[in-house]
Structure 1
Amino acid sequence: MLNILSILIGLFSLLIVIPSQIPFLGWGNWFALPVVVAGVAVGALSSRNGGRNFCLIVLAIAVLRLMIGGGIF
């Protein structure tokens, strides 16, 4: 059950991260980061790894975009 919850949290945060890839909307990643970290935490409590791994991929995309944009853009 926690794995499914982690996947749902990851999908919700992915919906925030995808539009944040557009220039000047990178600030949306700052809103997605706490949600993704919560998904990773829930996924870590699960007996399966799929949800946690999905949230880690979304987290990597958001952090990479923030690094490229200098943290704001």
Structure 2
Amino acid sequence: MLNLISILIGIVALVIVVPAQIPLLGALNWIALPLVAVGIGLGQLSSSRGGRNFCLIVGLIAVVRLSLGGGII
């Protein structure tokens, strides 16, 4: 059950991260990162690792976009 919740949180974060790839919308990644952190935590508590891995990938996309845009120094 926790894995399913983690996947759903990852999908919500992905919906936020995808438009954040457009220039001038990169600040949306700061909204997605806490969601990704919650999804990773819930995915870690479950017996399956699919939700955690999905959230890690979404988080990696957000962090790379923030670092390219100068949001993380």
TM tier, smaller: over 0.9
Query: TM-score, with normalisation over the residues of structure 1?
Result: 0.97
Aligned length: 72
SS in 2 for 1:23: coil
Aligned mates of 2:46, 2:56 — CA distance in 1: 14
Say yes or no: does 1:46 pair with 2:63.
no
Matching residue of 2:62: 62
Q: Percent identity?
A: 64
For structure 1, the residue ranges without an aligned partner over 5 or more in a row are none
RMSD of the alignment, in Å? Answer: 0.9
Q: Equivalent residue for 2:12? A: 12
AA aligned to 1:26 is G
Instruction: Please report how far the alpha carbon of residue 47 of structure 1 lies from its aligned counterpart in structure 2 after TM superposition.
Output: 0.2
Tell me how far apart the structure 2 counterparts of residues 22 and 71 of structure 1 sit (CA, whole Å): 14
Runs of 4+ in structure 1 deviating by more than 2 angstroms, as ranges, are: none
Q: TM-score, normalised by structure 2?
A: 0.97
Residue aligning to 2:32: 32
Q: Which amino acid aligns with 1:28?
A: L
